[in-house]
Amino acid sequence: MKDIYIADLANFDEGKLFDGFFLVLAKQQRLTKSNKPYLNLILGDKTGQLEGRVWEPADPRIAKEFDRGDIVKARGSASKFDDRLQMKVDQLRLAQPGEVEKSDLLPSTTYDVAQMWRQLLSFVESIANPDLKLLLATILNDPQFAEPYREAPAAKQLHHAWLGGLLEHVVSLCTLADRVAPHYPLLDRDLLMTGVILHDIGKIRELSWGTGFEYTIEGMLLGHIQIGAALAEKTIDSLPNFPAKLKTLVLHMVLSHHGKLEFGSPKLPMIPEALVLNFLDDLDAKMQAVAGEFEKSAREGKGPNELTNKVWALDNRQLLNTKRWLGEP
> What is the closest distance, in whole angstroms, from the C-beta atom of residue 1 to a copy of itself in the complex?
28
The least CB distance from residue 10 to a copy of itself, in Å, is: 12
Q: Spell out the alpha helix ranges (H) of the chain.
A: 113-125, 130-140, 143-151, 165-180, 189-198, 203-206, 217-238, 244-256, 272-299, 322-325
Exactly one of 69, 291, 310, 312 binds a copy of itself (CB under 8 A); that residue is 291
Please count the residues of this chain forming the interface with a copy of itself, following the rule CB under 8 A: 79
Minimum CB distance to a copy of itself smaller for 164 or for 223: 223
Q: Give the Cα separation of 183 and 46 in Å (integer).
A: 40
Rank residues 6 and 255 by Cβ distance to a copy of itself and give the closer one: 255
Question: Site for a copy of itself (CB under 8 A): which residue of 10, 12, 14, 300?
Answer: 14
Indicate whether 33 belongs to the interface with a copy of itself (CB under 8 A): yes
120 interacts with a copy of itself by CB under 8 A: no
Asked if 64 touches a copy of itself (CB under 8 A), the answer is: no
The partner residues of 37 in beta bridges, in order of sequence, read 31
Phi, psi angle pair for 100, to nearest 5°:
-150, 145
Rounded-to-integer distance, Cα 37 and Cα 208, Å: 33
Q: Which is nearer to a copy of itself, 146 or 230 (CB)?
A: 230
d(CA 82, CA 84) in angstroms, rounded, equals 5
Interface with a copy of itself, residue 123, by CB under 8 A: no
Q: Does 318 bind a copy of itself (CB under 8 A)?
A: yes
| Least distance (Å) between residue 158 CB and a copy of itself | 16
Rg value, the chain, Cα: 23
Instruction: Calculate the dihedral angle through the C-alpha atoms of 171, 176, 179, 180, rounding to the nearest 10 degrees.
Output: -130
DSSP three-state, residue 165: helix
> What residues from 214 to 253 belong to the interface with a copy of itself (CB under 8 A)?
217-218, 220-223, 225-226, 229-230, 233-234, 237, 243, 245-246, 248-249, 251-252
* Selected binder of a copy of itself within 12, 112, 263, 296 (CB under 8 A): 263
282 binds a copy of itself (CB under 8 A): yes
CA atoms within 13 A on the CB side of 181: 20
